[in-house]
Amino acid sequence: MSNRLLAYAPKPETVPPTQWRRIAPVVRSLGFLAVAAGPYGPDVIMTPLARLVAWTEAQGLPLEPSVVLDQSTVERFILVGCRDMAANSRRTCSSQLRRASEALLLDQLGQHPPIRLKATATPVATYPPAEVAHWLIWAQSLPTPAQRRNACLLFCLGVGCGLAVEDLVHVQGRDIQPGPTGRALVKVHGRRPRTVVCRYAYEELLLAEAGDVPADDYVFRPDWQNRTSKHIASDWLAKYPRIIGRCDGAVLQTQRLRTTWLVDLLNAGLPLPVILKASGLATLHSLSRYLVFLHEVSEEEVFELLRGAAA
Pairing of strands 184-188, 194-197: antiparallel
Residues with Cβ within 8 Å of 20's Cβ and at least 6 positions away in sequence, in order, are 9, 10, 50, 54
The domain defined by 129-305 carries CATH number 3.50.70.10: no
pLDDT for the residue numbered 186: 95
* CA pair distance 240, 55, nearest whole angstrom: 42
Alpha-carbon Rg for the chain, nearest whole angstrom, is: 27
State residue 242's pLDDT score.
54
Evaluate whether 205 touches 156 at the Cβ level (below 8 Å). yes
Q: Consecutive sets of 10 residues in the chain, 311 residues long: mean pLDDT of each?
A: 78 90 89 73 84 90 84 84 81 83 62 50 81 90 90 95 91 92 89 92 94 92 79 78 51 88 94 93 86 88 84 61
Q: Do residues 161 and 261 make contact, with C-beta atoms less than 8 angstroms apart?
A: yes
pLDDT value, residue 244: 41
Three-state SS for 105? helix
* Alpha-carbon gap, residue 207 to 211, rounded angstroms: 6
CA dihedral 159, 208, 185, 201 (to 10 degrees): 40
pTM: 0.60
* pLDDT computed for residue 253 by the predictor: 86
| CA 208 to each of CA 148, 161, 193: distance values in angstroms, whole numbers, following the listed order | 12, 15, 24
| SS3 state at 61 | coil
